[in-house]
């Protein structure tokens, strides 16, 4: 458990250093159930129960580390248990309790994060971490309508450097603008993840990534944004980047057994 929380703190620091986490921007939610011993699981609640706003049957008895609402990533990096908390999902699957360390209320986007985790468990996914952040160059792309078309940005980003396709083989799913934190945004995100994406772009807002752990989720976003930086750097130098050909990208998929 401590290692997972330390890893979360490291990622929070990376997000701040990259300029992806202005003020209290971004959220992290990690399912830490499997890393807890019975002593921690049986801790009494220090606050709650609080309603989630929806019923999530697959999360009964699950435990999550959550970034706190109005908390800054740069502060979480220094002291994760002052800017986040461990919560336990109650038996009614519709509410949660805070069990450690302090009464830090989770992110206002908790219902949408937990809805995704409920979906992941229901489909038997090994993914346990979700990350929402604001990578500058990827967000910039969404201000041009053509990049919001299905897989147009994915193909461009894959073509910028081989590592993008190798390390983000499912590409970048797209969700049109919706109110941040809304149930509609959560539902739309789940639909895109269900269409075989690990990283979802929220138009004019940011990305939502899922993976086995929070560092892996960060890595996918980092690689995708590097590709966007290469594209924008080329345009700033006065030319349209050629990119890798379809044949070259297919060769990568074949040699490394990539899913798309």
The predicted model scores a pTM of 0.94
Annotation says 109 is catalytic:
yes
Q: CB burial class (10 A; 0-12, 13-18, 19+) of residue 38?
A: exposed
Q: 64: closest CA among 209, 214, 186, 183? A: 214
Phi, psi of 13 (to 5 degrees): -65, -40
Average pLDDT over every residue of 98-124? 92
Residue 104 has pLDDT above 90, yes or no: yes
pLDDT at residue 247, as a whole number: 94
Mean pLDDT of 23-37: 94
Q: Are 104 and 68 in contact (CB under 8 A)?
A: yes
Ordered structural domains, the chain, with CATH: 1-129 (3.40.225.10), 135-260 (3.40.225.10)
Percent of the chain residues topping a pLDDT of 70: 100
What is the C-alpha to C-alpha distance for residues 134 and 238, in angstroms, rounded to an integer? 26
Whole-number average pLDDT of the chain = 94
* Average pLDDT over every residue of 166-184: 92
Given a cut of 80, whether residue 57 has pLDDT beyond it is yes
Question: Is residue 48 very low, low, confident or very high in pLDDT (cuts 50, 70, 90)?
Answer: confident
Mean pLDDT of 239-244: 96
pLDDT at 2: 83
- The predicted pLDDT at position 210 comes to 96
pLDDT at 260 > cutoff 80: no
What beta strand segments (E) does the chain contain?
27-31, 47-51, 63-67, 84-89, 95-100, 129-133, 172-175, 199-202, 206-211
pLDDT value of position 183: 81
> How far is residue 75's CA from residue 239's CA, in Å, rounded to a whole number?
40
Residue 10 has pLDDT above 90, yes or no: yes
| Mean pLDDT of all residues in 184-204 | 94
Dist. CA 120–CA 114, nearest whole Å? 10
Among 78, 109, 137, 163, the active-site one is 109
Edge-to-edge order in the sheet of strand 129-133: 47-51, 95-100, 84-89, 63-67, 27-31, 129-133, 206-211, 199-202, 172-175
């Amino acid at each position: 458990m401590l290692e997972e929380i330390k890893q979360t703190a490291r990622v929070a620091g990376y997000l701040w250093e990259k300029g992806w986490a202005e003020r209290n921007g971004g959220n992290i939610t990690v399912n830490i159930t499997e890393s807890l011993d019975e002593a921690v699981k049986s801790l009494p609640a220090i606050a709650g129960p609080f309603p989630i706003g929806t019923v999530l049957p697959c999360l009964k008895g699950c435990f999550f580390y959550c970034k706190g609402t109005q908390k800054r990533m740069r502060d979480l990096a220094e002291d994760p248990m002052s800017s986040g908390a461990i919560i336990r999902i109650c038996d009614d699957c519709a509410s949660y309790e805070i069990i450690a360390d302090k009464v830090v209320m989770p992110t206002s986007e908790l219902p949408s994060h937990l809805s995704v985790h409920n979906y992941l468990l229901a489909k038997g996914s090994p993914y346990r971490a979700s990350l929402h952040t604001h990578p500058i160059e990827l967000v910039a792309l969404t201000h041009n309508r053509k990049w919001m078309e299905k897989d147009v940005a994915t193909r461009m980003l894959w073509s910028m450097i081989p590592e993008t396709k190798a390390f983000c083989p499912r590409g970048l799913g797209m969700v049109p603008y919706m109110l941040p934190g809304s149930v509609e945004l959560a539902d739309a995100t789940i639909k895109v993840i269900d269409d075989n994406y690990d990283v979802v772009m929220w138009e004019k807002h940011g990305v939502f990534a899922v993976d086995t752990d929070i560092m892996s989720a960060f890595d996918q976003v980092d690689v995708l944004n590097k590709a966007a930086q290469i594209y924008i750097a080329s345009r700033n130098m006065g030319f349209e980047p050629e990119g890798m050909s379809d044949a070259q990208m297919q060769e990568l998929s074949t040699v490394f057994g990539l899913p798309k």
